[in-house]
């Protein structure tokens, strides 16, 4: 088996590659443009775990805003599985620069789909489009969106991810491309980009700075998410390679829901310093930030896969690792 991982030098991508190298004998090709969120340092660190992995991982630079040309295609070679994780993924940046998100998440997706359609027709067994819970928009209490519920995008990031997902499904229906779609909730773990929530909390707590917590308009109810460890996401993707039905979507959901203040308190306790925080109504000041996202994980659970837990223990472990490897905080 030969696997192409787009965005392989990213936070989730490198953990997916690590899991593949650790749990299979597959060869992996990482395709990445190495922008602000992707760095070869992640891949270098995982390759240091086992020397034999070096011969199984091949790294190629390419920006998917451009079609995959013959030279890049020849370097990729024939692959049996494509995991399309490359994307711009930060809501704040999508609000400031929506056009770049269209280019990365819509145009980039259609370019990898076109490559798959023309170059991999007789080799490709599965194309997994890595989607997000945010396409469904905010969820009221007791609401858990299922895989085929209607989209309700509230910011440019989620809208462009919805565009990529719809294109992937259209390529399945129009050309028979073996597409599977996932929706994943808030992912955390080792080597996460410092702009993300948990690394930011660690940095703020270490510096004695106030941690802003996304809350409702009354500033009494913190936002909440089903946080999930990156290694759990990677294992879910491998599970889907074996068990997914082509053309279907699957929610990859954390084992428990935590509000953002709970997460901040766990992080501060793990750092060993007091949490100084302020509940802030982000949505009123910056439209596009949603209070609660929630997905139903029932479909995958019935198939035999569920995320590990408890999440608070996993967060503590990640904080301890990050403190010991604090170069990833900056």
Please state, as a whole number, how many other Cβ atoms lie within 10 Å of the Cβ of residue 84: 24
Class of domain 2-187+226-252: alpha beta
Catalytic residue among 133, 147, 259, 290: 133
Catalytic residue among 157, 227, 250, 293: 157
Which pLDDT score is estimated for 128?
98
Six token digits for residue 245: 């039905």
Residue 130 Cα to chain centre, angstroms = 7
DSSP string, 255-277: SS-EEHHHHHHHHHHHHTS---E
Following CA atoms 276, 280, 286, 291 in sequence, which dihedral angle do they give, to the nearest 10 degrees?
110
Under DSSP, is residue 238 helix (H, G, I), strand (E, B) or coil?
Answer: helix
Mean pLDDT by 10 residues, the chain (330 residues): 97 98 98 88 96 97 97 96 94 92 98 92 92 95 95 95 98 97 96 94 96 91 94 98 98 95 97 95 70 95 96 98 95
Which pLDDT score is estimated for 35?
81
β 27-32/2-6 pair status: parallel
Which pLDDT score is estimated for 19?
98
Which pLDDT score is estimated for 224?
93
161 and 184 Cβ atoms separated by less than 8 Å: no
Is 157 labeled as catalytic in the residue annotation? yes
Q: Is the peptide bond before 310 cis (omega within 30 degrees of 0)?
A: yes
Question: Which one of 3.30.930.10, 3.40.50.720, 3.90.25.10, 2.40.30.30 gives the CATH number of domain 193-225+256-292+310-329?
Answer: 3.90.25.10
How do the domains of the chain map onto residue ranges?
A: 2-187+226-252, 193-225+256-292+310-329
Catalytic residue among 134, 165, 232, 235: 134
How far apart are the C-alpha atoms of 317 and 325, rounded to whole Å? 12
Which pLDDT score is estimated for 188?
97
244 DSSP assignment: P
- Looking at beta carbons, which pairs linking 90-94 to residues 24 or more positions away fall under 8 Å? 90/157, 90/195, 91/134, 91/155, 91/157, 91/158, 91/288, 91/289, 92/195, 92/286, 93/157, 94/155, 94/156, 94/157, 94/160, 94/288
pLDDT digit string, tens, across residues 32-49: 998 878 899 999 999 999
Which pLDDT score is estimated for 287?
67
Angle, to 10 degrees, between the axis of helix 40-47 and the axis of helix 11-23? 20
């Amino acid at each position: 088996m030969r696997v192409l991982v787009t965005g392989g030098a990213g936070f989730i991508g490198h953990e997916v590659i690590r899991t593949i190298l650790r749990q299979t004998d597959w060869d992996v090709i990482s395709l990445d443009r190495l922008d602000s969120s992707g760095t070869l340092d992640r891949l270098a660190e995982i390759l240091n775990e086992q020397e034999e992995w070096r011969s199984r991982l091949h790294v190629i630079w390419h920006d998917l805003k451009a079609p995959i040309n013959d030279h890049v295609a020849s370097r990729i070679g024939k692959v049996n599985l494509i995991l399309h994780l490359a994307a711009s993924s930060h809501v704040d940046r999508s609000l400031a620069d929506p056009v770049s998100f269209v280019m990365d998440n819509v145009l980039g997706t259609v370019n990898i789909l076109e490559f798959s359609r023309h170059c991999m027709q007789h080799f490709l067994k599965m194309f997994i489009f890595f989607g997000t819970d945010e396409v469904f928009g905010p969820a009221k209490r007791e609401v858990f969106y299922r895989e085929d519920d209607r989209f309700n995008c509230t910011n440019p990031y989620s809208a462009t991810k919805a565009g990529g997902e719809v294109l992937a499904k259209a390529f399945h229906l129009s050309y028979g491309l073996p597409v599977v779609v996932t929706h994943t909730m808030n992912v955390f773990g080792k080597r996460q980009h410092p702009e993300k929530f948990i690394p930011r909390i660690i940095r703020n707590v270490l510096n004695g700075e106030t941690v802003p917590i996304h809350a409702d308009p009354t500033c009494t109810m913190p936002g909440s998410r089903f946080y999930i460890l990156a290694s759990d996401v990677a294992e879910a993707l491998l599970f889907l390679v074996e068990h997914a039905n082509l053309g279907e979507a699957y929610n990859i959901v954390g084992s428990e829901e935590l509000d953002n203040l709970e997460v901040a308190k766990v992080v501060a306790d793990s750092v060993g310093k007091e949490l100084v925080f302020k509940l802030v109504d982000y949505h009123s000041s910056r439209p596009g930030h949603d209070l609660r996202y929630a997905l139903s994980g029932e479909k995958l659970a019935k198939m035999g896969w569920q995320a590990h837990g408890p999440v608070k223990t996993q967060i503590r472990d990640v904080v301890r690792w990050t403190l010991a490897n604090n170069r990833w905080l900056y």
